[in-house]
Structure 1
Amino acid sequence: MRVLVAGASGFIGTALTARLRDDGHEVLRLVRRRAEAADEVSWSPASGIIDFTVMDRVDAVVNLSGASLAHLPWTKRYRREILDSRIGATRTLADAMRKAANPPTVFLSGAAVGVYGDRPGELLTEASSPGTGFLADVVQRWEQAAALAPAATRTVTFRSGIVIGRGGAMQRISTLTKLGASGRLGTGGQHWPWIALDDEVGALVHLLGSDLSGSVNLVGPTPATADQVLAKLAAKLHRPYAMHVSEKLLDTALGVAAQELLLASQKVRPKRLLEDGYEFSCRTIDEAIDAMLSGSAARA
């Protein structure tokens, strides 16, 4: 396949691009500057500018664009960037596909498990209703933008959890852990949906060739709490896990980001992905952390 990737230089995009090329696919990368290489296509998602004819030359589009959720704190201005960066990029891609004479056959567009909100005690699948809160609103609007793609294009919105790999949110968590500044966040019993980088990439490759459309949860098959994730990492790094940061302190320091990223409980199951036959390389948080620390996660 010839695959157009938005966000190819990011944490997930870099690993996905390498995997696709290893598998024999051709990758075109969207860049927010003048294109300099043969595999680059220039665009300006904030302005809605892209050469829509590129859509006639590709079989698939993968949208990984969006301001990082790991960037803290979430000021009012940054919350606007989180929303606008996702909506602008997704609408630009969908509009370009609608203008193409022969649009791509598949569109994989990013989303997040934040759509479910804080749901302690519930087992969440793709059939679960959206929750409430800032991220729930962002993801719903993000997925609505992806739905503007042409009817001829199979569209999947993949709802990712915390990606366990050397980048993204885990990079900051690993740094703090190595410094000995790790410990329980709130009660520690809140469920953190996670997925190994190798499976995030593997699931995207799987979805390119699947018949699935609509929302698909990209999370590991074995749920884990925040305590389990953080304590396992500390143990693997031989660092202490003795601190305790109260919910009140987290809320004071980080506000909305604390409530929606660190303290929200989401026990999410990858129901549709499992039913479609995807086989996880890392089925537990232990395996995912081992893969991250050994550098084996995602063939890159």
Structure 2
Amino acid sequence: MRVLIAGASGFVGTALVASLEAHGHQVVRLVRRRAAAPDESSWSPVSGVVDVGELERADAVVNLSGASLARLPWTRRYRDEILASRIAATRTLADAMRQARTPPAVFLSASAVGIYGDRPGERLDERAPRGSGFLADVVAQWEAQALLAPPETRTVLLRSGIVVGDGGALGRVATLTRLGVSARLGTGGQHWPWIALDDEVAAIEHLLGSRLSGPVNLVGPTPATADRVLAALADRLHRPYFLAAPERALELVLGVAAEELLLASQKAVPERLLADGFAFTRPTVEDAIDAMLAVGPS
């Protein structure tokens, strides 16, 4: 396939490009500068500019573009950037697809389990209704832009959880853990939806050739609490795990980001992926952490 990718230089995008090319696909990366290689095409999502011809030549478009949620703190200005960056990129691609004489057959657009909000005790498959909060509002608007793609383009909304891999958000937590400052966050009982980086990439590739459309949860098949994730990380790094960070303290320091990233509970499950025959390589968060650290279980 000829796959056009927005966000190709990011954490997931870099791994996806390498995997697609290794499997014989042709990748064209959208870049926000003058194109310097045959596999690059310039675009400006802020200005709504992209080469429609590239979309006409593409079999599939993968949109991974958007400001990082792992950058803290979420000031009011940065919250605006989180939303605007996602809307601009997705709208630009969807508009160009509608203009194309032969639009791509597949559009895989990044999304997030944040759409479910804080839902302790609930099992969240793709039929679960939207929750409330900042991220739920962001994701709802983000997905609405993706769904403006033309009807002949199969559109999939990639509702990802925390991607566990070197360079991702949990990789940054690993750095703190190595320094001996890992701590239980709030009660530790909140569910953190997670997925190993290699499974995230494999799931995206699977969806390129699937018949699925609409929302698909990209999360591991074994739900895990924050306490389980952080304790496993500390165990493998042979570091202590006895400190505690109270909810109130986290909220005072990090505000909305603490409430929605660290303390929210989302027991999301990959129901549609599993029903579609996808097989996870890392079925537990411990497996994902071992892969991230490139070590076996201690």
Shorter-chain TM band = over 0.9
1:52 match: 52
1:115 match: 115
1:212 match: 212
TM-score between both structures, scaled by the size of structure 2:
0.98
1:97 match: 97
Change in Cα spacing, 1:136 to 1:178, as seen in structure 2 (3 Å) is: same
> Residue 59 of structure 1 aligns to which amino acid in structure 2?
D
Q: Distance in 1 between matches of 2:126 and 2:67?
A: 24
Q: Distance in 1 between matches of 2:87 and 2:156?
A: 16
Q: Distance in 2 between matches of 1:99 and 1:292?
A: 41
Deviation at 1:279, TM superposition (A): 0.1
2:276 match: 276
> Residue 197 of structure 2 aligns to which amino acid in structure 1?
L
Q: Distance in 2 between matches of 1:39 and 1:184?
A: 45
- After superposition, where does 1:277-292 map in structure 2 within 5 Å? 277-292=277-292
SS of 2:184's partner is strand
- After superposition, where does 1:1-300 map in structure 2 within 5 Å? 1-294=1-294
Q: Distance in 2 between matches of 1:142 and 1:197?
A: 22
Q: Distance in 1 between matches of 2:269 and 2:173?
A: 24
SS of 1:111's partner is strand
Deviation at 1:126, TM superposition (A): 0.3
> Residue 142 of structure 1 aligns to which amino acid in structure 2?
W
Q: Distance in 2 between matches of 1:149 and 1:120?
A: 34
Q: Distance in 2 between matches of 1:261 and 1:167?
A: 17
SS of 1:155's partner is strand
SS of 2:192's partner is coil
Q: Distance in 2 between matches of 1:99 and 1:171?
A: 40
Deviation at 1:168, TM superposition (A): 2.1
Change in Cα spacing, 1:7 to 1:295, as seen in structure 2 (3 Å) is: farther
- Tell me, which stretches of 5 or more residues in structure 2 are unaligned? none
Deviation at 1:242, TM superposition (A): 1.6
Change in Cα spacing, 1:295 to 1:141, as seen in structure 2 (3 Å) is: farther
Q: Distance in 2 between matches of 1:168 and 1:40?
A: 24
TM-score between both structures, scaled by the size of structure 1:
0.98
- Does the 8 A contact of 2:220 with 2:280 survive in 1? yes
Deviation at 1:210, TM superposition (A): 0.0
Deviation at 1:157, TM superposition (A): 0.4
Deviations 1:40-77 (A, max 9, x none): 00000011111111111110000000000000000000
- Does the 8 A contact of 2:164 with 2:171 survive in 1? no
Q: Distance in 2 between matches of 1:114 and 1:90?
A: 17
SS of 1:148's partner is coil
Deviation at 1:261, TM superposition (A): 0.1
Deviation at 1:295, TM superposition (A): 7.8
> Residue 36 of structure 1 aligns to which amino acid in structure 2?
A
Sequence identity percentage: 69
Deviation at 1:27, TM superposition (A): 0.1
> Residue 153 of structure 2 aligns to which amino acid in structure 1?
T
> Residue 209 of structure 1 aligns to which amino acid in structure 2?
G
RMSD: 0.9
- Does the 8 A contact of 2:195 with 2:218 survive in 1? yes
Deviation at 1:172, TM superposition (A): 1.4
Q: Distance in 2 between matches of 1:57 and 1:219?
A: 31
Greater Cα offset, 47-56 or 10-19: 47-56
Deviation at 1:177, TM superposition (A): 0.6
SS of 1:120's partner is coil
> Residue 26 of structure 2 aligns to which amino acid in structure 1?
E
